[in-house]
Structure 1
Amino acid sequence: MLKSGKDYLEGLRDGRTVYIGRERVEDVTTHPAFRNTARAFAEFYDLKRDPAQRDALTYEEDGGRHSIYYMKARTKEQLAKRSNAHRVLAEPSFGLLGRSPDYIASFVTGMNLKAELFGQYADNVRSYYKFMRDNDIFAAHAIVSPQASRDPDFFQKKNLPNPACRVIAEEDDGVVISGMKMLATGSALADEIWIGNILPLSPEARAESITFAVPCNAKGVSLWSRKPFASSAQSEFEAPLTWRFDEADAMVMFDNVKVPWERVFVHNDPALSRGLYIETAAHSYGNHHSNVRLMVKMQFLVGLCSRIAQANGAAEVPAVRETLGRLAALESVLEAIVAGQIEACEEWPVKGYVTFNRRMMYAGLNWGVENYSAVIDTLRELCGGGMLQMPADGSVMEDSALGEQFRTYWQTPHMSALDRMKLFRLAWDIVGSELGGRHLQYEKFFPGASFVVRNHNYREAPWKAWQDRVDTILQRMTPPGKQAEAAE
């Protein structure tokens, strides 16, 4: 089934518990904090149903037509189709919706290339994949324990419950869960939440080593949103990105939540709780999406830098051209990394399936961690003081005298006053607004802290092959005094 945007929006009116501070949100489809982003996700679903996109965004399997990001690739060409679909689906949001419906769907699809890894819960993983595929499910995820839980002795000494999400009881029909998980981006607008552990757990943390999925409106589940930015956006004119793409982040609270056994995927297994992401194709499939989405975002940012340079009349200044050329080269490197993941694909994790090259995928994650903030700084430098020279808001044009002065004195030989105002409003929204600050933090940490990302790169590197090349030279290096012996 291919869900429509209307179907998606109707599904959000399901009694889910979402808090903004102490405010209980009654309907996320109408609340100012969520309504416009909900519509952006609805457009995502409608795009997949567009007849013109049928071959690019969908495929047939088991007698039905499904979103192509559920396709388990067996050839390089199928990987390329998956990658192209991520790009097409990210372009309407300019890469700003990082946790779009094709993100977790890709993780779950990648797991199902090697579902047998899950042992006694393997059939649960297979069934959940089919449930997501057949119902076109939008799943969010939360796979990191709250920062406060990193010192369990503190809570034990205080006789307080550890805030980490954990199993507190096992019953005939499922497990009972309490505690918190972070950070469920998009969960207020999703159908389901996947809960797991991306960071290593100690062998003793068996109660925390639970991986499962629940509907967003499950009894006892509540979503505690960060401060929303869209609520304060006056209009799309004043804050075009905040208005439409404020992708909500939330902590997930579990208060004695019953999870049926069929929705449990890992239990009492700390090693597998984390290992499932890197021992299956989950990371490869899911983070290829992240690489593609970042590539789309970079293309938007580089285009914005170019427009700002044009608006300032500086586009032909040699130093500015050099800066724009460097940005274009950076974007091209990322695009090459994305293409390389397909071209150098691996027959992995089991024979008969292929997946995106893992080394290059992790290199793409590291590219984002290292470069995004530098690109934003470059955009900031190109803007100079231009963003701060604009009137407070567009109401200036509602006054005939003020409007005439604005149009006269704020224009440049390169751009009208109104067009300059729109351009600098857009630039400020990604550089200086709260949304821009959130994206700066998001791109730096969404794949994990930098040392986590680099450890992935370290793990996948072919160190033995590289060291062998060094050793070949070392073996040829005959010390003085031994050369004659070597000649004999």
Structure 2
Amino acid sequence: MPVRTAAQYMESLKDDRSIYIEGERIKDVTKDNRFVGAAETMAELLQMQHEKDLKEVLTYNSPTSGESVGMSHIQPKSKEDIKARGDAMKVWMDATCGMLGRSPDYKNVMVSAWAAAAKSFERETFDGSANIKNYYEYVRENDLMMTHVLVNPQVDRSRPAHLQESEIVAQIVKETDAGIIVRGARMVATLCALANEIIVMPAAVTWQTNEEHKTTNYAFGFAIPTSTPGLKFICRPPVGHLSAASPMDGPLSLRYDESDGVAVFDDVLVPWERVFLFRDKEAEAVIRGKTGAGPHALHQSVVRATSKSEFMMALALAIAKSTKIDEHNHVQVMLAETINIAEFARTCRIGAEAEAHETQFGTFAPAMRHISLWQGMFWKLYNRQCEIINTLGAGGLVGVPSYAELAGEVKGDVEKYFQTANADSPKRIKLNRLAYDAALSSFAGRQRLYEQYYSGDPMRSMSLMYRMYPKDEHIDRVHNMLDDLEKRQNPEWPKQDSGAAFNRNWK
């Protein structure tokens, strides 16, 4: 089938999935106000693929069915394909202010990369190569939305999974002719309430025992529908202000709270055709290294970061202009800082796409050098943009009333006392409620935490960048310069008429 419509997506969520939040099971996430805002936002993204002026950017023709499928599924065969994919992702990211970390394209690019590297799934313990290729085609042709879980529950990080209390960490407890039986939990399933599929890939495993069969219970990879019997999701409370008198009081949080949850597997049957990795001690290395999927997923992230930092920059500029504080030098310095951050993210994207290279799998991948630069720095820079917005807005962020007051008994007072030099009261209240939502609210706090940890521990990412960076050539440059100067030093130095300290280096 071609790309789905908004209505088709919303209907797909009515599948009796097990979603729990705030002490209750939700029967229909499309009607619950804790999920419906983000659900409708996701639906809008899919609907954009049908718009006449966007279809060519957001879709391409399937190589098997000829139908229109999402551009983020493409297996890029050139730099131009990488750029086209980035352009498509930018449309979605601009439409959501970069606030949706788990927009559909995030997992799409990852699965397409795994499928392109299907040979990496030909393992001694299990050949999952055909399964990953079939799964890629299935989600591409049906325009399905995916979530994933990669991390074990935070119980005791001082010990490996197999030495902790039994059956907390998701593990294989049985094998049958139909498939594997999985029991335990994984985190964090962002978008779990709104996804059609969940991908479960290897968490970090420490091999410290000779009980190989027992420890490989944790070494697997698979994908199943989110409505699979025995699978439940326990979600955190919403970060949106659900009792807000006006939707304009939470313009971001009421639309972009994609939700996070813990996936609980209660003896879930995973059919063999949905298994990608099985009892493989190198399973994590396959996913994180051998397939080369990382640069593709982070390509989506750097595009999202570009949109997000551009939005935060624009918000800072608007806040400063509203009260004319942008006329002060020290404020201009802060505003310039937000501009620098946005341009930094944009430059990382441009570099990653411009220096894309061919991989061993015959596809092209964005240049990791530029992506690593962004990955190591952006979460700090995003925090700084939030701090600047808080500084510029100051008391105005908490001093403005609900937008609903403009229709209440004190409308006259509100219109008089909440105007600014460059904005009337309605415009100023909307702007400050937006700034509060973006930089100071619980939604903002979740965004900041997400940017810091969604792609792993930033300290490990920086350490990995250090280990992979071609350091020797740069170190050699320093020593070569010193050796050359040593050869050229003037033996008469420092006599008054001896000339320069180093002999000239030209003929």
Normalised TM-score (structure 1): 0.93
The residue that corresponds to 1:333 in the other structure is: 344
Residue 456 of structure 2 corresponds to 448
Deviation, structure 1 residue 212: 0.7
For residues 93-132 of structure 1, the aligned pairs below 5 Å read 93-119=96-122, 120-132=127-139
Structure 2: runs of 5 or more not aligned: 210-214, 493-507
Letter matched to residue 27 of structure 1 = D
Q: Shift of residue 465 of structure 1?
A: 2.8
| Matches of 1:156 and 1:454, distance apart in 2 | 29
Equivalent residue in structure 1 for 2:468, among 457, 460, 466 = 460
Give the counterpart letter for 1:202 in structure 2: W
Paired amino acid for 1:23: E
Counterpart CA distance in 1 for 2:206 and 2:163 is: 18
Q: 1:22 to 1:227 in 2, by over 3 A?
A: same
Task: Give 1:480 deviation, angstroms.
Answer: 11
- When residues 203 and 175 of structure 1 are mapped into structure 2, their CA distance, relative to the original with a 3 A threshold, is farther
1:134-213 → structure 2 map (5 Å cutoff): 134-152=141-159, 160-197=165-202, 199=204, 201-202=206-207, 205-213=215-223
1:201–1:53 distance in 2 versus 1, CA, 3 Å: farther
Q: Between Structure 1 and Structure 2, which shows a larger proportion of helix residues?
A: 1
1:317-357 CA-partner distances (Å, limit 9, x unpaired):
1111121112111211110000000111121133x321100
The answer for the alignment partner of 1:469 in structure 2 is: 477
Find the counterpart in structure 2 of residue 92 from structure 1: 95
Separation in 1, partners of 2:338, 2:314: 10
Query: 2:67 aligned with 1:64, yes or no?
Result: yes
Aligned-pair CA distance for 1:32: 0.8
**RMSD (CA atoms):** 2.3
Task: Note the alpha carbon deviations across 1:115-162, whole angstroms, 9 max, x for none.
Answer: 1011111111111111111111111011111111535589968xx424
| Offset of residue 202 of structure 1 | 2.8
Change (3 A) 1:231 1:168: farther
Question: Alpha-carbon deviation of 1:295?
Answer: 0.9
Alignment correspondent of 2:503: none
* Residues in 1 aligned to 2:398 and 2:451: alpha-carbon distance in whole angstroms: 25
Which deviates more from structure 2 when the two are superposed, residues 57-66 or residues 69-78?
A: 57-66
What one-letter code is carried by the residue in structure 2 that aligns with 1:195?
V
Asked if 1:412 is matched to 2:423, the reply is no
- Which residue in the other structure is 1:21 paired with? 22
Q: How does 1:387-406 map to 2 (within 5 A)?
A: 387-391=397-401, 393-400=402-409, 402-406=410-414
Measure the CA separation in 1 of the matches of 2:251 and 2:106: 24
Contact 1:155/1:162 (8 A) holds in 2? no
**Do 1:113 and 1:349's aligned partners in 2 also have CA atoms closer than 8 Å?**
no
Alignment pair present for 1:258 and 2:269 = yes
Match in the other structure for 1:42: 43
Query: Which of 298, 314, 320 is the matching residue for 1:309?
Result: 320
Which whole-Å CA distance do the structure 1 matches of 2:444 and 2:478 have between them? Answer: 45
Q: Secondary structure at the match of 2:262?
A: strand
Matching residue's letter, 1:98: G
> TM-score of the superposition, structure 2-length normalised?
0.90
CA–CA distance in 2 between the matches of 1:28 and 1:260? 26
Distance in 2 (alpha carbons) for counterparts of 1:84 and 1:100: 15
Inter-CA distance 156–471: structure 2 relative to 1 (3 Å threshold): closer
Q: CA–CA distance in 1 between the matches of 2:205 and 2:367? A: 23
Classify 1:4/1:203 alpha carbon distance in 2 versus 1 (closer, same or farther; 3 Å). Answer: farther
2:393 and 2:470 map into 1 onto residues whose CA distance is 43
What is the distance in 2 between the residues matched to 1:155 and 1:58? 44
2:255 to 244, 247, 267: 244
How far apart are the structure 2 equivalents of 1:102 and 1:90? 10
1:374 aligns with 2:377: no
- The aligned residue for residue 367 of structure 2 is 357
Structure exhibiting the larger radius of gyration computed from Cα positions? 2
Task: Answer yes or no: is the 8 Å Cα contact 2:390–2:397 preserved in 1.
Answer: no
One-letter amino acid matched to 2:49: K
Gaps (5+ residues) in structure 1?
none
Cross-structure match for 1:433: 441
1:9 matches 2:10: yes
Shift in CA distance, 463/174, structure 1 to aligned 2, threshold 3 Å: same
Residue 463 of structure 1, CA deviation: 2.2
Q: Distance in 1 between matches of 2:243 and 2:195?
A: 23
User: Partners in 1 of 2:235 and 2:167 — Cα distance?
Assistant: 21
> 1:381 and 1:231, CA in 2 relative to 1: closer, same or farther beyond 3 A?
closer
Q: Residue 179 and residue 56 in structure 1: after superposition, are their counterparts in 2 closer, same or farther (change >3 A)?
A: same
Q: Secondary structure at the match of 1:211?
A: strand
How many residues are paired up?
480
Shift of residue 198, structure 1, vs aligned partner: 5.1
Q: Distance in 2 between matches of 1:83 and 1:202?
A: 39
Work out whether residues 201 and 209 of structure 1, in 8 Å CA contact, stay in contact via their aligned partners in 2.
no
Distance 1:118 1:378, change over 3 A: same
- Give the drift of 1:29: 0.4
CA distance in 2, matches of 1:135, 1:95: 25
Helix, strand or coil for the counterpart of 1:145?
Answer: coil
* Cα displacement (A) at 1:270: 2.9
TM-superposed CA distance for 1:381, in Å, is 0.5
Q: Kindly state the Cα deviation for residue 113 of structure 1 after the two structures are TM-superposed.
A: 2.4
**C-alpha displacement at 1:283, in angstroms?**
0.7
Once the two structures are TM-superposed, the CA of residue 301 in structure 1 deviates from its matched residue by 0.4
Q: Which residue of 1 aligns with 2:55?
A: 54
Q: Is the 8 A contact 1:19 1:224 kept in 2?
A: yes
Task: Say which SS state the counterpart of residue 258 (structure 2) adopts.
Answer: coil
Please report how far the alpha carbon of residue 413 of structure 1 lies from its aligned counterpart in structure 2 after TM superposition.
Answer: 2.3
**1 CA distance for matches of 2:285 and 2:89?**
25
CA distance in 2, matches of 1:199, 1:289: 23
